[in-house]
């Protein structure tokens, strides 16, 4: 009886436990449902989109709410216009590796935190006109298929456009880069301008590729580099100011290039640069070293009215027919050997004389003489016939305008040889030898005979150097006048020889 009662009670206890477990399960179900709903709600937020496509209107609404935005690999449809947002964008905005299918307008928008659009593709026009970036602006790896307009934009922090592609026209006109500006390996497939832009710190266009580019009156205050950059179209740096060092080392300029009225406050490194077309540096001012070692100029190099502190053109090469224009230029040091630029200078007397002075200051006296000689030859050819031209011709033939002592030596030797042969061939000299008696005025006292060629040359040398005939030898007939003429020429050429030799030896 007792055993039966215990068995019944155990069955009741098990039943109660089962009911309690079921009750607990039903109580837990609402909690689970609430957590699941919360998770679904979170996955559908703009920070973690549940869909790969996002409407531009939803994006604007979310940014206006002030919550941080973090998108990656999404597609944005519809025109995105943040100009409708009242006030500034205070939170960080990140939309990376994504695609904007329609136009994007950030005109006049202020981003108080960072803007991260790395790797994003803009398939239509984009406008950042008068946008203000208080934090970093990251566009590295982005692609702009339509027009990109950054005019009057202000970048207070880092402006990163490294590896960015601009496949249509782009403009950074009057933009301000207060932080570092990085355009490393960026590509501009169409026209781009940085006219009146200001770069306060580092500006790097290392290995950038440009089509037509304009830097009209652009201000570069920090270090600037265009190392290995490639300019496929016209490259204009007119009136641009480089306050610090600038590097164009190994850059390639494949079309017309102008640096007219540029100002270089620091080192200007153009070593190894390649100028396929004319390179215009008219009115440029190099306050420090202008380094053009190993540069190549396939066509003209214009330095008209330039101000050069020190320009180095060692090992530079010039194409056939290339011309160098130094008209009106003022330079302290122009370091290039005369053999490199000989025959290429556009004629200007002041430029030639300045170059002669430059070579003398460098103690390259042979280069100075060669430069001066070509200057006088050109000026003589351009001079009209008259006494001035005649005197120039005499100066040219006699002494190479005072810098060719070999010319004077040649005329000395030629005069001696010429008159010696004339005296010998024409029997214009007599020689008498009477022991103890010398009577050159009495022919009956000696035997008249022709002298040897050696004696004729000896006589010519004596007349040329001293204007006096040697003992026992005298000219006859009209050869006396020739002897007198040789003496006059001797004084003239010997005096000229001393003067020219002194000028060459005493520097």
- pLDDT reading at 392 higher than 90: no
Angle between helices 405-425 and 387-399 (to 10 degrees): 90
Q: What is the pLDDT of residue 343?
A: 86
Q: Which residue has the higher pLDDT, 497 or 101?
A: 101
Q: Give the residue from 137, 136, 135 showing the smallest Cα distance to 148.
A: 137
Q: How do residues 163-198 score in pLDDT, each as one tens digit?
A: 999 999 999 999 999 999 999 999 999 999 999 999
Q: What is the pLDDT of residue 435?
A: 45
Q: Which residue has the higher pLDDT, 104 or 404?
A: 104
Q: What is the pLDDT of residue 48?
A: 53
Model pTM score: 0.77
Q: What is the pLDDT of residue 147?
A: 97
CA dist., res. 321 & res. 340, Å (int):
13
Q: How do residues 328-368 score in pLDDT, each as one tens digit?
A: 999 989 999 999 998 899 999 999 999 999 999 999 999 99
- pLDDT reading at 149 higher than 50: yes
- pLDDT reading at 4 higher than 50: no
Domains of the chain from N-terminus onward: 47-204 (2.160.20), 212-382 (no CATH), 405-435+444-505 (1.10.287)
Q: How do residues 305-320 score in pLDDT, each as one tens digit?
A: 999 999 999 899 999 9
- pLDDT reading at 148 higher than 50: yes
Mean pLDDT of 41-58: 64
Q: What is the pLDDT of residue 388?
A: 85
Model confidence at 442, in pLDDT bands (50, 70, 90)? low
**94 DSSP β-pair partners:** 70, 116
Mean pLDDT of 245-257: 96
Q: What is the pLDDT of residue 1?
A: 38
Q: What is the pLDDT of residue 47?
A: 52
Looking at 35-44, 61-70, 419-428, which range is the least confident one? Answer: 35-44
Q: What is the pLDDT of residue 17?
A: 43
Q: Give the residue from 205, 179, 186 showing the smallest Cα distance to 144.
A: 186
The SS3 of residue 69 is strand
- pLDDT reading at 30 higher than 50: no
Mean pLDDT of 402-421: 91
E strands of 57-153, at which residues?
A: 69-72, 75-77, 80-81, 93-96, 99-100, 104-105, 110-111, 115-116, 121-122, 126-127, 132-133, 137-138, 143-144, 148-149
Q: What is the pLDDT of residue 51?
A: 54
Mean pLDDT of 431-460: 63
Strands 154-155, 132-133: pairing kind: parallel
CA dist., res. 104 & res. 128, Å (int):
9
- State how far the alpha carbon of 189 is from the alpha carbons of 117, 144, 159, 327, in Å: 20, 10, 20, 37
The SS3 of residue 176 is strand
- pLDDT reading at 15 higher than 80: no
CA dist., res. 34 & res. 27, Å (int):
12
In the chain, % of residues over pLDDT 70: 85
């Amino acid at each position: 009886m007792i055993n039966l009662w215990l068995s019944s009670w155990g069955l009741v206890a098990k039943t109660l436990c089962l009911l309690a477990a079921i009750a607990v399960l039903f109580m837990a179900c609402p909690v689970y449902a609430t957590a699941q709903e919360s998770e679904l709600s979170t996955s559908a937020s703009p920070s973690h989109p549940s869909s790969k496509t996002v409407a531009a209107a939803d994006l604007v609404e979310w940014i206006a709410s002030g919550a941080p935005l973090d998108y990656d690999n999404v597609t944005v449809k519809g025109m995105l216009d943040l100009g409708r947002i009242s006030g500034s964008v205070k939170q960080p905005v990140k939309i990376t590796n994504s695609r904007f299918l329609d136009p994007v307008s950030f005109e006049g928008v202020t981003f108080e935190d960072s803007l991260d659009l790395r790797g994003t593709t803009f398939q239509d026009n984009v406008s950042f006109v008068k946008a203000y970036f208080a934090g970093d602006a990251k566009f590295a790896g982005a692609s702009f298929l339509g027009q990109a307009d950054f005019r009057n934009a202000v970048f207070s922090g880092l402006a990163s456009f490294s590896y960015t592609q601009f496949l249509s026209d782009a403009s950074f006109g009057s933009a301000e880069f207060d932080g570092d500006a990085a355009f490393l390996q960026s590509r501009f497939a169409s026209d781009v301008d940085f006219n009146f832009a200001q770069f306060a710190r580092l500006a790097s266009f290392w290995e950038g590729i440009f089509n037509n580019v304009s830097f009209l009156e652009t201000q570069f205050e920090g270090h600037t580099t265009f190392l290995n950059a490639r300019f496929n179209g016209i490259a204009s740096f007119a009136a641009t100011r480089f306050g610090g060092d600038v590097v164009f080392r190994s850059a390639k300029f494949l079309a017309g290039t102008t640096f007219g009225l540029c100002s270089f406050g620091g080192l200007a490194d153009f070593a190894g640069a390649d100028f396929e077309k004319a390179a215009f540096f008219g009115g440029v001012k190099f306050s420090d070293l202008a380094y053009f070692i190993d540069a190549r100029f396939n066509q003209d190099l214009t330095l008209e009215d330039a101000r050069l502190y020190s320009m180095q053109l060692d090992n530079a090469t010039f194409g056939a027919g290339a011309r160098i224009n130094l008209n009106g230029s003022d330079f302290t040091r122009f370091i290039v050997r005369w053999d490199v630029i000989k025959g290429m200078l556009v004629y200007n007397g002041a430029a030639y004389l300045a170059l002669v002075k430059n070579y003398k200051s460098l103690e390259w006296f042979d280069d100075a003489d060669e430069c001066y000689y070509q200057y006088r030859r050109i000026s003589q050819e351009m001079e009209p016939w008259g006494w001035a031209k005649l005197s120039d011709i005499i100066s040219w033939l006699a002494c190479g305008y005072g810098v060719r002592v070999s010319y004077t030596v040649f005329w000395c030797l030629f005069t001696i040889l010429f008159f010696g042969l004339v005296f010998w061939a024409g029997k214009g000299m007599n020689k008498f030898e009477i022991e103890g008696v010398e009577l050159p005025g009495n022919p009956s006292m000696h035997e008249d005979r022709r002298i040897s060629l050696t004696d004729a040359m000896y006589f010519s040398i004596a007349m040329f150097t001293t204007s006096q005939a040697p003992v026992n030898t005298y000219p006859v007939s009209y050869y006396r006048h020739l002897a007198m003429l040789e003496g006059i020429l001797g004084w003239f050429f010997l005096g000229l020889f001393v003067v020219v030799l002194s000028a060459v030896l005493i520097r």
